Every structure is written in C-alpha cells, then in structure tokens.
Amino acid sequence: MDGNLSNKAKIIFHVDMNSFYASVEMASDATLKGKPVAIAGNVEERRGIIVTCSYEAREFGVKTTMPVWQAKKLCPHLIVKQPNFELYRKASKAMFQLLRGYTDLVEPVSIDEGYMDMTHALSEHPLHIANMIQEQLLRELDLPCSIGIAPNKFLAKMASDMKKPLGITILRKREIPTILWPMPVHEMHGVGKKTAEKLQTIGVVTIGDLASTNELQLKSLLGINGIRLKERANGIDTRPVDPESIHDYKSIGNSTTLPKDTTIQQDLLETLLSLSKTVSARLKNKNVYATNLAITIRYKDRSTYSRSEKLANPMQTEKDIYEQAKRLFIKHWNGNPVRLLGVTGNDLVEQDHAFKQLDIFTYEKDAKEEPLIKTMEKLRDKFGKDIIVKGWNNYHKEGQTDTGFNKDFLRREDE
C-alpha cells in the first residue's frame, strides 16, 4: 500500500474466517484435517441439509443447501458433523480477542468476520501486519482467514473475498476501474440475486455499469438503496468501524390504552395483532430487525408489567412478532382486567446484519421452501412486488447461504 494511502486515507482490514465452522471442527479434532468435512442437521437422515463444508469437500462439488444424501453421492467419504454451537462461539470470541490485540477499533459483523480500523495502529506496512494477523490466527487458534485491505469497509469486504482460502488482498481506490468494475454485479457486496436480476432489466450487468448508471433510474428501480449501491460501486463508503455497534440497544414499540378494561382474551389478542402490525411496519421502514421482543401489560389497578425474551432469530414480520407477543401474553397474563397493552422490538440490528442464527431446524425449513421462494419472486416480477406477502424474509450473504450467528448471539455471556 503506497504512502499516500497510508498518510491521507483510512486503512481498513476486513478479516473473514475461511470455512469457519468446518475449520473450528478441524482445530478441535486434528484427525479431521485435510479431509472433506461438512456441517449438517439430521446427519443420519437423507433429508439433512448441508450448512457449510470444508474446501476439501467443495472440491468434490459439495455445496451449502445441498441434501446430505446428494453430498455423500458426490463425496462418499464425506465426514458429516452436527453443529457444536458452544464450540463455534468460543472460537469466535477468541478470534475477536486476538484482533483487538492489534487495535481497539474492531467491529464484529457476524460470528466469523469483522472490520478493523488500522489507520492509527500501524507500526509497519499494512501487508506485513495482515500477514502477522493471519499467521497468529493459524498458530494460536489453528483457524485460517482471508484479509482485505482498503480505504473503506466496502472495498475491504470486496478485497477479502478475492482470495480464499488464506488470501490477503489490497484494493486501492485507483484500482477500482480495472479490478472492481469488470466484475459481474451479482458478485458485489450488498447485491443479492434478486437485486442483480432487477439491475439487469436496465442494462446493469457489471459493477462498472452500476457505477455509471443514471441515479433517477436507479432510485426508481431500487429506492434509496440504489443510490447507495452506486456510491459503493464508485468506491464511496463513509461508514466508520464502530466497535460499539454490536452493543446497540435500540427499540421500536407501540402501545395503546384499551377503550375499556377487559378480560376478553379475543379482544386482547386482536389488540396485540394490531400493535404487532404497527411495530412490523416501523421495523421495515427502518430496515431493522428485532432480536428481543417485549410486551407490556397494565392492569385496571394501573400496575404495569413488562416481559421480554431473546429471539432465536431476528424478527421483522407481523406474523412472527404477533406469534411471539401472543405467546408471552398468554404466559404472563394473570387474568385480571387489562387497561393497556404494548409490544416492543428491542436490540435492533440492521438488515445487512440480520443473519439467521445457525439453527439447523430453521435452516432446513428455509432450504425446503426455496422452490416456493423462486416461484413467488417470478410472480412479483410479473405482477408487482405486492402481489404476495410472505411470512418471513430469508437473507443471504452474497453468493452463499447465511449461516452466521446474529449479533445478539455474539453479545450474550456464557450461560
């Protein structure tokens, strides 16, 4: 990295662990090293789904979302393991602790990746420090990673994806036209399959096309996100590396005083449904998800109780919020007349970080519904986005199925 970049611009590292879950299993059991390993639920059943796999398994064509039976057909000696949540969480904490030894400005974005602002922490060339980090992770934790080095978070993320496994890539702004712009737009961080398909309808095939597309056309197609994507395509990203983002305690809620104190459960549940609808709409407007849900019950005597619960997976839809609120209400309502009800989504995470927790049962359900999702997308493309509203949204990392734990999972202390 040249002197101008070091002196005048930020230096951001994006550290992305390679095949993290499989790598952690190998670090824990040396007999697995160099072998094709996959993580899946229902290991003994044909309907089990591959969640992630080692690079050795990928060489045989094994991929995420693939049924176990199909993976074993491609790779008969595939070793399939059930997930060990505590083991992965422990390895993640150790990894981030190691990174904080180089700078206090470390921002985890999922269990296996994070940003480091190295602008004022460098005593040597960035490439040398990146090598040190990579070697230390291997030496102390036996975990491989790829590192992207760039003047902002977006470019650092793009750089870390360019060489895997064990790659280190520097991406300078002046290299954007020659390195970034020729890439297919679907390979750009922040552009999923559906967005890429929409962009293709206006002739945007490469990242370079996106960088030069008319802003009015983009905004009409994708809303404000279209403008943001164009900025990214031009290498513009002013987001700071924020170590505290993982500890954000934000909330969106709604409450209402009932027309009269009541013990009629159906009326109370209908009120919860209305509140859930409002909270869902507000979450969607802010592009955030709740990782904790709370209800408030105020009785006739004005005594007020709030009860909350951490969620296994980030939540945004009316249906999910209502089901959780209903369950909490039925569990905690004492049967006395109710004067006020409230529903609040807490510990909010941004859309880009709302990765579903590695829950095999949920994951397999999502994978099975993939054909339905594709059919719905075709209908929306033909008749408009509001033709069908699905009960949940399944978010993916670029080009692969999400298997990262959510921020709340990382934040929790060991039980």
AA identity, residue 395? Y
Secondary structure, 3-state, 388-403: CCCCCCCCCECCECCC
* Cα dihedral 24, 159, 206, 182 sign: negative
Residues that constitute the known binding site for Mg(2+) = 16, 112
> Using CA atoms, how far apart are residues 242 and 20, in angstroms rounded to an integer?
23
The active-site residue out of 25, 113, 318, 364 is: 113
- Between the two ends of the chain, the Cα-to-Cα distance in Å is 44
> Using CA atoms, how far apart are residues 131 and 88, in angstroms rounded to an integer?
24
> Using CA atoms, how far apart are residues 149 and 72, in angstroms rounded to an integer?
37
> Using CA atoms, how far apart are residues 287 and 350, in angstroms rounded to an integer?
6
Question: Helix (H, G, I), strand (E, B), or coil: what is residue 290?
Answer: strand
Known catalytic residue at 197: no
Q: What are the tokens at 69?
A: 């039976």
Region for residue 302 given its phi and psi (left: phi exceeds 0; alpha: psi -120 to 50; beta: otherwise): left
Residue with tokens 């005597």: 301
> Using CA atoms, how far apart are residues 110 and 119, in angstroms rounded to an integer?
22
* Cα dihedral 157, 163, 166, 169 sign: negative
AA identity, residue 30? A
Q: Which residues are catalytic?
A: 113
